[in-house]
Amino acid sequence: MVRMKTVAAVVALSALTAACSGGGSESSETAPSTSEAEAPAAEPEVAAAPADTAPPAADDVSTKDGVEYASLTGDAAAGKMVFAQCRTCHVTDPGVNRTGPSLAGIVGRPAGSVEGFNYTDANKNSGIVWTEEKLFQYLENPQRVIPKTKMIFAGLPDAQKRADVIAYLKNPS
The structural domain count of the chain equals: 2
pLDDT digits (tens, 9 = 90+) for 91-110: 999 999 999 999 999 999 99
User: Which is more confident, 29 or 67?
Assistant: 67
Q: Are 2 and 33 in contact (CB under 8 A)?
A: no
Q: Are 100 and 151 in contact (CB under 8 A)?
A: yes
Residues 14 and 57 in one domain: no
58 CB neighbour count, 10 Å cutoff? 15
pLDDT for residue 26: 37
Biggest CA-to-CA distance, the chain:
55
Residues 87 and 161 in one domain: yes
What's 121's domain CATH number? 1.10.760.10
* CA atoms of 146 and 125, how far apart (whole Å): 10
Residues 65 and 133 in one domain: yes
Strand partners, 110: 129
Residues 4 and 64 in one domain: no
Q: Mapping DSSP to helix (H, G, I), strand (E, B) and coil, where does residue 110 land?
A: strand
Residues 38 and 52 in one domain: no
By mean pLDDT, which of 7-11, 38-42, 136-140 is the weakest?
38-42
Cα-based distances in Å from 137 to 8, 117, 141:
35, 22, 7
Is the entire prediction scored with pTM above 0.75? no
**DSSP string spanning 38-83?**
HSPP-PPPPP---TT-PPPPTT----TT---GGG----HHHHHHHH
Strand partners, 129: 110
Residues 131 and 143 in one domain: yes
